Homo-oligomer: A and B are copies of this chain.
Amino acid sequence: MSTKHLVYALSLSLGAVSTQLAHAQAKPEVLVKQRQAVMTLQGKYFGPLGGMAQGRVPFNVQTVQRNAGFLDNLTRMSWDGFDASTRGVKSRALPGVFDDSAKFKQYASRLENEAAKLVTVSKSGDESAIKAQIGAVGKVCGGCHDDFREKQ
């Protein structure tokens, strides 16, 4: 099988992908699934750092550096998933995401900045500066969840 055919077969085997390629914009349900995937992974990689900042998990600078790099990438992946077309799709996103998008985008921008700063600070190895910056990231996450996510 040629590389071209292999890539084509692979594209067909990825449901979300064939949707994305067939239309200019992915279906709303796909966008919600993708943005929720980002949140799942942000939870995976922020969780242990939150634990370190609280002293419940032993501090490990290598883990912080690796997770900070992942979080820096993840924070740039989710925003296009909050497209207005997803308003009617079941999720915990409150209507404010679409009605007050300027405020939502402010959180998005703050999170990208704080996550990028965590990458920089983590390289310093300075435990207390790192823990403070983990707190700064967590504060943006928590603030946005308070304002824009349905309580469970």
Contact = CB atoms under 8 A, between A and B. Distances in A.
Interface residues of A, number: 51
B16 A50 contact: no
B57 A21 contact: yes
A3 B43 CA distance: 18
Interface of A: 3-4, 6-11, 13-18, 20-21, 26, 33-34, 36-38, 40-41, 43-44, 46-48, 50-51, 53-54, 56-57, 69-70, 73-74, 76-77, 132, 134-136, 138-139, 141-142, 145, 152
21 contacts: A3-B132, A3-B136, A6-B135, A6-B142, A7-B134, A7-B135, A13-B142, A13-B145, A14-B43, A14-B47, A15-B43, A17-B47, A20-B48, A21-B50, A34-B44, A37-B38, A37-B40, A37-B41, A70-B73, A70-B76, A73-B73
